[in-house]
Each structure stands twice: as structure tokens, then as C-alpha cells.
Structure 1
């Protein structure tokens, strides 16, 4: 069981500013690498309750190019996690047990990029579904007893159902 606190809070208008600040730091650190950096996840969706962790999506032509820049992520306070269970992804965490940022990096054209973008835009375009998701997340956070696996499991049915709907919607 995780020792991390799992808390879902109401939307914070500072989250976009936190993202922009981190984006600038990442652009500076990756000055010699062409990347696209986007705010994703629940903190990127206005009025959606979320864990107060800024999720960042990086698109790059070849994801392996980030592997030789691991020290730059470390210098910004990130822990380099490799694929961390998702083939083709590079994953970074900042903040230890009090996480503040997650970075998900994928190669241009990958399904990982499409999946993240589709789910974000789908929730932005469907506020009633976003509210349902917020309710599920809040209930999961309250009842998971700091167990990350349980928290994820309690959201899984919603995510599986709506990610498929999001991909269909996004593609049309």
C-alpha cells in the first residue's frame, strides 16, 4: 500500500499557471530539442476536481532522444521512471510522496498522444460526463485508504468506457 496521500480537490485556477511555469522550465532545459509540451489530465480541464498534480504531455519525434537528457529532468527535480509500464512512453515524476508534476512523453504519431488528447478534449466538451468523473474520483479518494492501486481500480470502469467514447468522438 502506498504511503502517499490521495486527495481529490476542487478545481484550482492556479493549475494553468503552474503548468505554464513548468513548461517554461522544460523548454529551457530541452532548448536543443524540438518538443511540443501540453497540459493534460484533470488539472487541465476547467472546473474539474482533481488530484493537485500537474500532468504534462511531451511530444517528440523520437522518444529515445529524451533518454540521453535524463540529467536535465533530474536537475528540475524529476525522478526518471523510463516506460513505467507503458511501452513507448517516457515517464517522470516530481515531488516524491507529495507529487506536484507528472510528465508523459511519447513519440509523434503514437497512440499514447492520441489517447491523452482525446480524453482531455472529450471531457472539456462534455461537462456532465466530467462532473460524473469528478464524483467518482472524489469517492475513490475518500474510500481507497491511501492505496493507489485501489484508487486507480475504482476509476477504471469509467475510464475504459469513456476513453473509447472519447477516441470515437475525437476521430469523427
Structure 2
């Protein structure tokens, strides 16, 4: 039995994000250039784990650690990994995939906060993936069907679930890049 639970879309996820983003902006101040709702909970009508994924963007590598330190001081917990998977066809330079992952203080709303550097491949990936799924509800529905099926597999950790999802997300992302070029998409 899988340790992953996928739930129906919650119409309050956007409001929950706004409330959490306000707290994050209060903690991080000018260290971040933006805070965005990403991941499945940011896509209307998409099933998801009931965990908000949020991306905090910083303008430079040293600010990754500055932001992380501010969050740790506010009782957020630093977690692995310290990088995202490299996507076929995108830059393979390690710096393009560096991030910090922190989770909410104990007894608070579940949040995975991904801190990434502005303009890097992984920062763009999260935003373009979200926007592509928002603009393509049939693709989002197919992705949701995959997630529901994956959650029935004997997966023991969230890391195993992420490893299973990564190539599927890449299959969505690659046409998203073509869509972005065709439409003039900008984050």
C-alpha cells in the first residue's frame, strides 16, 4: 500500500496559499523577489496531495542560504533534496537545479517551500508547468489520472513518488516549452 494520499481538489487551496504567502513574505522580506503558488494545488480542478507547494524566488545563490536561515529561525525545517532533477533537453549545469526545500513549522498547514534562484531552469520549470496545466485542462486531467494511479502503487516514501512522477512531468513540460514560445508566455 502506498504512503501517498491523493485528494480531490479543494477550492480553498488558493486562499490557503495567499495566507501562507503573506506569512512567508513577512519572514523573508526583501530576500525574495517573488512568492508563487506552484504544484498541483495551484491548478484548479487537479487532484493533489493536500500539501501546498510554494516557490520563493531569490535573486542570487547566497540568498538561498539567507532565506533558508530566516525560515529556520522561524521554526521551519530544512529538508533534502538540495537540487531538482535535471530535465532532458534543458541545461545540465548543476547550478540550474540547485534549491532549498523547507517545510512548515510543526502543527501548521502542510507546506513544501522550494527556494530557487531567479532565471534558473528549475525556477522557470515550476512556473511554466503550472501555467501550462492551467491553460490545458485535459492535460491536467490526464496528469491527475496518473497521480491517482501512482498513489495505488506500493510506494513507501514521497521521494519514490517524486521519482516516479518526474519523467511524466517532463513529458508535460517539454510541450509546455513549445507552447510558451508560441504564445509568448512570460512568468
The normalised TM-score by structure 2 is: 0.79
Aligned 8 A contact 1:89 1:106 in 2: yes
SS of 2:102's partner is strand
Tell me, yes or no, if structure 1 residue 112 matches structure 2 residue 122. Answer: yes
C-alpha deviation, 1:75, in angstroms: 4.2
C-alpha deviation, 1:150, in angstroms: 4.0
Residue number in structure 1 paired with 2:161:
151
The unaligned stretches of length 5 or more in structure 1 are none
Residue number in structure 2 paired with 1:41:
39
Bigger CA drift: 38-47 or 87-96? 87-96
C-alpha deviation, 1:69, in angstroms: 4.2
Pick aligned residue for 2:76 from 75, 78, 85: 78
C-alpha deviation, 1:91, in angstroms: 1.6
TM-align CA RMSD: 2.4
Aligned 8 A contact 1:41 1:55 in 2: yes
The unaligned stretches of length 5 or more in structure 2 are 85-96, 183-187
Residue number in structure 2 paired with 1:91:
101
Aligned 8 A contact 2:72 2:78 in 1: yes
Aligned 8 A contact 2:116 2:123 in 1: yes
How many residues get paired?
Answer: 168
- The one-character-per-residue Cα deviations of 1:58-83 (angstroms, maximum 9, x if unpaired) are 11111322413434312444211365
